[in-house]
Homo-oligomer: A and B are copies of this chain.
Amino acid sequence: MTNRITSLFGIKYPVVQAGMIWCSGWRLASAVSNAGGLGLIGAGSMDPAVLAEHIRKCKAATLEPFGINVPLLYPDVDEIFSIIIRENVNIVFTSAGNPLKWTGFLHDKGIKVVHVVANTKAALKCSEARVDAIVAEGFEAGGHNGKEETTTMTLIPMICDAVSLPIIAAGGIATGRQMLAAIALGAEGVQIGTRFIASKESSAHLSFKQKIVDAKDGDTFLQFKRIVPVRLLKNKFSENARMLEESGASAGQIGELLGKGRARLGMFEGDMDEGELEAGQVSALIKEIKPAGEIVNEIIREYNEALERVHKVYKVRKVES
């Protein structure tokens, strides 16, 4: 399977493991890259020195390409990019900011740049910034999310119509069937987050991994719409936040409840009551914690099976016509 995404990164399968805060360090990224996908280290929860260590360990653990996810609103973003350049990492996924600000600078250093969007307007900005590819992320995705609430099923054709750049679909993808659906919609790759949180190599707390495995449909919810929308697994904290929001509280009051360090508390330290647990709707489809490489293989196997099934429909049609 060769397309603009596999060619861009030099990878076997167009499967990107999302660079997520508190979950995706060098162990997860290298495991995914070794299995033929593209692993990303999530810089959003790392001090610059910690990131440098993760990059070095990732290099030692894989000879395959890997990248770094950098939220552009990160306070230490200059230092983060200095480290990435110094350590010769040549793939960066940027999110939560303006792609016009950094793309040219990174390109000059020989770094490939992919930017994450949730609407057409941002995709057009990516085109103007000449990024190398776009991650288009739907409403069902875990973590930070767009205000438009556009779902992957609607977003992908919309973005494919708006720009000519290769598109990586994100949100609602954990299985090979969903990967094939994304390809049918016009994407050339997929970015998968939640499925990899519940992997052996992710640095998420075991209680958080298990909560994903236990989740049923309706167990995640898009919250904090008056600040920055974020999809969370429902727990005591999120229910308190929801009640506060529904009572008509201001952004300030909601921010006060949210406080600092909630994501670390939940996702990394394992407080399932008071922590913030970023995860997508696909949690309901995840039944087991597995090694990341096995997850990649399973997705590709199921993708091929779904392709065979769709291909049979195709053959039936050809015979009929």
Interface residues of A (CB under 8 A from B): 1-3, 119-120, 138-140, 147-155, 157-158, 161, 171-173, 175, 177-178, 180-186, 216-218, 221-222, 226, 246-249, 280-282, 284-285, 304, 306-307, 310-311, 313-314, 316-317, 320
Contacts and interface: CB of A to CB of B under 8 A. Distances in A.
Given A139-B151, A153-B173, A248-B248, 13 more contacts: A1-B320, A2-B320, A138-B153, A139-B139, A139-B140, A140-B151, A147-B218, A148-B218, A154-B172, A157-B175, A158-B217, A161-B285, A246-B248
Residue among A120, A217, A218 facing the most chain B CB atoms (10 A cut-off):
A217
B157 A140 contact: no
B173 A177 contact: no
A311 B313 contact: no
Nearest to A245: B246
A13 to B, nearest CB: 11
A150 B281 contact: yes
Q: Which 7 A-B pairs have the closest CB atoms?
A: A248-B248, A148-B218, A153-B172, A181-B181, A180-B184, A151-B151, A181-B184
Given A172-B153, A184-B184, A221-B149, A158 B246 contact: no
